[in-house]
């Protein structure tokens, strides 16, 4: 039987400044993000960590489903509550995947890349994803930083249509994968970045993201507002938009909220 994530071990080892002030651990939830953002206004969610062994309604960007067998991955959300000085949402969208890459490397020595805007990949196959949602809850703004990491899955665990595009940490390393250790390392890295949020530097964050970005310089097709554009991916803007050098001439920014990206072979 697959062991549950060890909350006692997590709470004892995580010496964070912000992340891990309170842990909630569920056998099943529809969505860890939804649970976090549904908390009453009087209950602060800042630093709260919500973990589920299974999500019945896990989702990704543009409403896509997140598939993960019970106990096979990490399904987690971290709450951030901003009352006075806000966190730049665009920079947060860059910081979180960088932190996950750092955490995975620390726990497993697996080097990951970032597939714009929010996928964590190994050898161009998805091993994790990020979904950040915001909700105004006067006088604060609440962020739910949701992420999933495939840990113990094998090929047969993925829906057939995803098998060529998905992987897990167990498939890419010969070392045993400890879900608790991976989550601890990810939360530690995220906490370190969040502790610096008042002094985030856009260029250094952009550089950290770019150093892990998959496909810079490659030929792409960007689909935005029902239109398709062909060109080469040349940069990422600190606001979390990609910059494409278009075949038809000129450069254009495409936002994550309205764009899907495909590699052109």
Question: Domain with 237 in it: what CATH number?
Answer: 2.30.30.100
Domain that holds residue 176: 7-210
Query: What is the reported pTM?
Result: 0.91
User: What pLDDT does residue 59 have?
Assistant: 62
Query: With contact defined as beta carbons under 8 Å apart, do 265 and 231 qualify?
Result: no
Residues 86 and 118 occupy one common structural domain: yes
pLDDT-based confidence at residue 163 (cuts at 50, 70, 90): confident
Q: 173 and 142: one domain?
A: yes
Angle (CA) 119 232 125, round 5°? 25
Q: Which of 187, 169, 153, 11 is nearest to 70 (CA)?
A: 153
Q: What is the mean pLDDT of the chain?
A: 90
Total number of domains in the chain: 2
Output the pLDDT for position 1: 39
CATH code for the domain of 185 = 3.30.930.10
Residue with tokens 């598939």: 67
Q: 131 and 238 share a domain? A: no
Residue 2 lies in a domain: no
Q: What is the DSSP string of 188-230?
A: HHHHHHHHTGGG--HHHHHHHHHTTBS-TT-EEEEEETTEEEE
Residues 6+ apart with CB under 8 A from 63: none
Q: What is the CA radius of gyration of the chain?
A: 18
Residues 51 and 151 in one domain: yes
Question: What are 46-100's pLDDT values in tens digits?
Answer: 999 999 999 987 665 545 666 788 899 999 999 999 876 678 888 899 999 999 9
């Amino acid at each position: 039987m697959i062991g549950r994530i060890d909350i006692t071990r997590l709470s004892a080892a995580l010496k964070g400044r912000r992340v891990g002030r309170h842990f909630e651990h569920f056998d099943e939830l529809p969505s860890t993000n939804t649970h976090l953002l549904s908390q009453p206004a009087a209950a602060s969610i800042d630093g709260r960590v919500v973990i589920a062994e299974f999500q019945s309604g896990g989702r990704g960007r543009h409403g896509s489903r997140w598939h993960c067998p019970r106990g096979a991955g990490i399904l987690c959300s971290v709450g951030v509550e901003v009352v006075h000085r806000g966190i730049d949402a665009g920079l947060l969208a860059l910081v979180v995947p960088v932190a996950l890459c750092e955490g995975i490397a620390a726990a497993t020595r697996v080097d990951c890349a970032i597939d714009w805007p929010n996928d964590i990949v190994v050898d161009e196959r998805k091993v994790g994803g990020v979904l950040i949602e915001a909700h105004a809850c006067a006088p604060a703004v609440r962020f739910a930083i949701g992420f999933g990491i495939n840990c113990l899955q094998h090929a047969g665990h993925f829906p057939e249509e995803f098998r060529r595009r998905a992987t897990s940490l167990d498939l890419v390393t010969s070392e045993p994968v400890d879900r608790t250790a991976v989550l601890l390392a990810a939360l530690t890295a995220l906490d370190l970045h969040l502790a610096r949020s008042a002094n985030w530097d856009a260029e250094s964050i952009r550089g950290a993201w770019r150093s892990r970005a998959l496909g810079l310089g490659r030929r792409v097709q960007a689909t935005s507002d029902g239109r398709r554009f062909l060109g080469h991916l040349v940069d990422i803007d600190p606001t979390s938009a990609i910059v494409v050098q278009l075949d038809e001439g000129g450069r254009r920014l495409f936002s994550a909220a309205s764009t899907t990206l495909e590699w052109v072979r």
